[in-house]
């Protein structure tokens, strides 16, 4: 008897629901912050983001190439801190606004402190 088949599993309808994976969400958050900063200061935003420990970005400077390391909440907090260093409180608020649609779908404990 196959236990994991959808036909025999009473929870089969839940198996087909795909929830966004947390690491992917953090990559999207970082990419959104970088793109938002790029609109304000140009390509130097990508250079500054590469200096944040835990962020890896390919040379193409595209959002799909942003990868966050093992401690994604800390990395996002560091990236927001860079924005806040450059723009002050406004920089942090820009980050919160730019990522609001993503963080709204996350559990509160998964949202980095800097974006709350």
**Residue in 24, 27, 29 with CA at minimum distance from that of residue 80:** 29
- Surface-to-core class of residue 83, CB atoms within 10 Å of its CB (0-12 exposed, 13-18 middle, 19+ buried): buried
- Surface-to-core class of residue 13, CB atoms within 10 Å of its CB (0-12 exposed, 13-18 middle, 19+ buried): exposed
Indicate whether 19 pLDDT > 90: no
Res. 9 pLDDT band, cuts 50 70 90: low
pTM of the model: 0.79
Rounded CA gap, 109 and 116, in Å? 10
pLDDT digits (tens, 9 = 90+) for 55-104: 999 888 888 889 998 899 999 999 999 999 999 999 999 999 999 999 99
**Residue in 61, 24, 68, 29 with CA at minimum distance from that of residue 46:** 61
Rg (CA), the chain: 17
Domain spans of the chain? 21-107
């Amino acid at each position: 008897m196959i236990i994991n088949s959808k036909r025999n599993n009473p929870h089969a309808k839940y198996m087909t629901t795909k929830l966004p994976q947390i690491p992917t969400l953090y990559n999207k958050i970082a990419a959104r912050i970088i793109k938002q900063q790029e609109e304000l200061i140009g390509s130097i935003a990508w250079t500054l983001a590469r200096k944040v420990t835990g962020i890896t970005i390919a040379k193409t400077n595209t959002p799909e190439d942003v990868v966050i390391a093992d401690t994604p909440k800390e990395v996002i907090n560091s990236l927001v801190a860079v924005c806040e260093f450059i723009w002050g409180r406004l920089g942090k608020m820009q980050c919160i606004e730019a990522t609001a649609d993503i963080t709204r779908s996350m559990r509160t404990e998964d949202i980095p402190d800097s974006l709350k």
